[in-house]
Structure 1
């Protein structure tokens, strides 16, 4: 009895610690700096090791094991890219040129990565959301626990939006009311620096709130008076509307379009799997949410839509995509090394197209940059992850009747980050990646766990 009590206390402590790790990655500008990233990795790593004492079983257990293999593959790849060995046949040509330039006096040791230290640091940014996802699946292993994690994510997204809106009204040229903004003055960024990353987070938060709005009475909830239930629904709708307003105030074209596509998928999945067999109540709720979305677009999205009409597709970004593809073609086996885009890209940039004054430290396409820095190994890792999670959400839509809104929202979140990843690098920011990871972890449990 004492052992069981200790186990329960430890599990609850680890759950709170994991939530704290999520907040740690968001508050210091998305944990893009070295110290915040290292600190978040240590806290999340300790939580992951504590959760590993009791790994999930059944279908969730299979997914957990496959996730561990993906983590192992990423770690091995990063180590292979960063290690320097004599006469390395896969070494980047820059090491050979350096040795020749020194007249053969330089060491014959060379690495695949042009910047081994940057590769090791960048590997932490890739591994952090993976271990957070696995820890979330292991710790929040019941419907009640997973719903608590889902509500936590929705609450964080709502507070993120409120802070950003207040900040934009009081001090639009300040970051967190204190520091002068260097970028995106007049756009909502809240705790983050980049408006596109903030827009992606708010789009995901909108989907978490939409799922709570459409869900029925959930496990662990007591029957409430009709007026109380109606008040709760009004509060959720208000939170959804506030978060949606925050999304449009970011003025992010990519986040707006990706969120619209994700909401369309969310509605289609619910209509096809749930609403048509149960009546019109949820259909009316879905229609109301979509109507609210349209109203917010008309009221607050005028400037964002104007940017789409006037600016259209950025030609420089298309040039960067072509240059990144050429870099992948020259380093397709093992890539140039994680975190080396800034070092490698200048050799491939087209000055007639991209220009010589603009600085590009990201490819603004997560998938292309993954190909360039990880090589062809990135393809099976990314494809398997997307297909496997899609299968999980499909299982939830088919077998978890009361949890279908969360399964549909999980699929929509996956769609949102995948689509936005084609035109931006939001998923490469640790804070956003970890936030998405806990949402997907909660959705996974709700899809695979039977109450």
Structure 2
């Protein structure tokens, strides 16, 4: 009783002053989130950020954001994910050191004989390294570093669900703006990308990217995010446990606000830009990923019967009509060239020979363009320059060795396992996990036959979404502190 009487009296004015001082302080990770969102918006702009200067800028910005990010909201589950990421990064850095060091820590492999041949040709000894191009692994470090930093910053920032929803909105709106520019540039002068004349792809849309395949999966990813945002809005307007019927869908569509109509237009523009690229794999995989993203919501709302079947058949028919109208270039390429290029198959065989000769430490990160001509198959035409393997896993194995490639594959398997757990366990905020899972599948599947994830302008978007999905794959251990925290 005496202790209670001795407690200091707190007046209402003091409480209001304290709350006012808290309101003046920025929310946790506000600056880090702003930097992350700015990088996501700007990364596709300078030709997909393939040049060194923008890569340095994004690495610097994301490094600052990571230093300013707060870890207070993380719990044991999140730190376990960070530990796994640290293991993958550690293995990568270890091999990178072995490739560039004059005195490696683990001299398990002899330098390539090309160094002795160069020494004999010059008539003077050259210090050999594990990398076939000296210091190239350091020069090529920027792109994977930017993607890793983006993953870490997004993961930490998007522990707060409001930031995760903001990230989805940033990806969707920036993609629609690039689609508007790409369509306009395609109609005015399709032979130019930004202020430069194209070297290829003169008759198709590439927007701010140099390669049409990367542009296709970028716009496909943005269209998937828009689709999920719109589905979420429609779902919120449907009565709970409502059957999938035209009447319910029409009821929800009538109640949509005007900003949702703008969202439908933005989604359509992203789809048009995607089709105008004429990329076979990019368009087909984007449609496949979009359908897979819709599956959890359709399955939950679907009642097996004639009405649901009619809705699904009508949707499939509408998609087929859209594909016939907008995808004429894709269909033409499928008819004339089929699904695969012969050059890719020969390149894969040559890359496997590179891996066979350098299985442990690879030829050096970023050295594919210099090493590949030695292994290039004579069974295919000598026309053209192949500076990439057109298969990211194969190129990682040839550049960094099989152990690092296996660790990277295991890391992606862990990412998909966590996202799959989030899809199964989360009911609230499932859209964030579904968006990350769909876009990650799109990026990985396309990178099996191309190099889209090696382009920072697209990789930054994918890794940002993956980071948000990983952060939201677990239920919060504490309830929302206010009604505002409970609103996306």
Q: Is the Cα–Cα contact under 8 Å of residues 164 and 432 in structure 2 kept in the other structure?
A: no
Contact 1:410 1:443 in 2 (8 A): yes
Higher-helix-fraction structure:
1
Provide runs of 4+ in structure 1 moved above 4 Å: 1-7, 52-55, 216-219, 225-228, 276-292
How many pairs are equivalent? 441
Aligned-pair CA distance for 1:54: 4.3
Deviation at residue 118 of structure 1 after TM alignment: 2.0
TM-score (norm 2): 0.82
Q: Is the 8 A contact 1:363 1:369 kept in 2?
A: yes
- In structure 2, relative to structure 1, the CA distance for the partners of 1:291 and 1:157 (3 Å cut) is farther
For normalisation by structure 1, the TM-score amounts to 0.89
- 1:400 aligned residue: 426
Equivalent position of 1:99 in the other structure: 119
Q: What is the distance in 2 between the residues matched to 1:429 and 1:420? A: 12
Return 5+ residue gaps in structure 1 as ranges.
Answer: 220-224
1:417 partnered with 2:434: no
Cα offset for 1:420?
0.8
The CA distance in 2 between the partners of 1:80 and 1:122, in whole Å, is 15
1:378 aligns with 2:414: no
For residue 189 of structure 1, what is the aligned residue in structure 2? 206
* Larger CA deviation: 69-78 vs 145-154: 69-78
2:110 aligns to what? 90
Verify: 1:314 aligned to 2:332, yes or no: no
* Structure 1 counterpart of 2:66: 48
Residue segments in structure 2 that go unaligned for 5+ positions in a row: 1-17, 237-251, 477-485
Work out the CA distance in 2 between the residues paired with 1:46 and 1:447: 26
What does residue 160 of structure 1 align with?
178
Q: Which residue of 1 aligns with 2:371?
A: 344
Q: Please report the RMSD computed on the Cα atoms of aligned residues, expressed in angstroms.
A: 2.9
Bigger radius of gyration among the two: 2
Counterpart Cα distance in 2 of 1:84 and 1:40? 30
For residues 196 and 51 of structure 2, the distance between their equivalents in structure 1, rounded to whole angstroms, comes to 17
Out of 370, 391, 410, which is 1:365 matched to? 391
Residues 48-71 of structure 1: per-residue CA shift (max 9 Å, x gap): 122265472242332123223322
CA contact (8 A) 2:91 2:404 kept: no
Matched residue SS, 2:282: helix
Aligned position for 2:230:
213
Residue 402 of structure 1 and its aligned partner are, at CA, apart by 3.2
Q: What are the Cα deviations for residues 287-330 of structure 1, in whole angstroms up to 9, with x where unaligned?
A: 77655543321111011111011112211111111001110111
Q: For each residue in 1:328-383, what CA deviation from the matched residue of structure 2 results, as whole angstroms up to 9, or x when unmatched?
A: 111111111110001110110012x2332321101111111111111112333222
Is the Cα–Cα contact under 8 Å of residues 215 and 402 in structure 1 kept in the other structure?
no
Counterparts of 1:20 and 1:427, CA distance in 2: 20
Match of 1:236 among 263, 270, 284: 263
